[in-house]
Amino acid sequence: MNRTFKFNTLYIGILLLALAFSSCTSSKQLAIQKSKTAQLSRKLGFTVNRKDDLPLLEEVSRWLGTPYRYGGTTRTGADCSGFVGAVYKNVYHKSLQRTVVNIYNKDCQRIGKHRLKPGDLVFFNFSKRKKRTLNHMGIYLKNGYFAHASTSKGVMVNHLSENYYKKGWRKSGRVW
């Protein structure tokens, strides 16, 4: 009886220690994740929580401020489709076409604006002459926010409700 009692006590002690260490680890991980989401919130300009697509948001945050470069696909300079393609490759391991029109026509399933989810693509036209053409794009992040490579300010985050983007909005798509 005494031997069984010692064994059970030892067994329970080991279980309690394991539980204590595992809860420390999870609370440390939670603290790290809270710190990460707070940093992303500051950088991106909107509230980020741990249920968001963190790999996407982290990748976009690394690109913020990258200068615009026509034909560029790297963080030393990128155009809108080059930025989107590089982010898609890094986050989702998918290769996209190289131009805005080809990405929309060949890589996307058309979806309505109301169905946008993180990682979906948003397409615009800012041409005064060719109203039906798609000539700009970005990646939808959440709650109306999207990231894109602006010709004047490089990679940045804006909101679809901003007048300029509301007027230029044309379509949205989900990558196959």
As annotated, the active-site residues are 80, 136, 148
Residues sharing a CB contact under 8 Å with residue 113, sequence separation 6 or more, in sequence order: 160, 169, 172
The answer to whether 137 and 148 have CB atoms below 8 angstroms apart is yes
Distance CA 65, CA 172 (A): 24
Please provide the distance, in angstroms rounded to a whole number, between the alpha carbons at the two ends of the chain. Answer: 65
Q: Whose CA is closest to 175, among 81, 105, 74?
A: 105
> Closest Cα partner for 118 from 150, 91, 96, 97?
91
Burial label, 70 (beta-carbon count in 10 A; 0-12, 13-18, 19+)? exposed
